[in-house]
Amino acid sequence: MFLVRFLEQQNKVLETKWSLLQEQGHTVTRKSLEPLFEAYINNLRRQLDSLVGERGRLDSELRNMQDMVEDFKNK
């Protein structure tokens, strides 16, 4: 859920930047945009990897806490 919101915000930022560039009359070729988009995509992939790792850690922590609660219930 957080990732979706983050990506939507990033998309809005890119749309705004693109509009500004078009208004200023800059001619931007596809070739010059490719490295920017590749860097942006790589950054998003790193963030996604980090979030996936964090989720795994939190899932494990949740299971441990649930086990502890069950142990206390059974005592």
Are the C-beta atoms of residues 7 and 44 closer than 8 Å to each other? yes
- Predicted local distance difference test score (pLDDT) of residue 29: 62
C-alpha distance from residue 7 to each of 19, 29, 37, 48 (Å): 18, 24, 14, 10
Between 66 and 9, name the one with better pLDDT: 66
How does pLDDT run across 12-49, given as a tens digit for each residue?
A: 888 888 888 777 765 556 667 788 889 999 999 999 99
Averaged pLDDT for residues 60-73: 94
Q: Say if pTM beats, i.e. exceeds, 0.75.
A: no
- b/e code 33-43 from CB counts within 10 Å (16+ = b): eeeeeeeeeee
If you average pLDDT over residues 52-73, what whole number do you get? 94
> What confidence score (pLDDT) does residue 2 get?
76
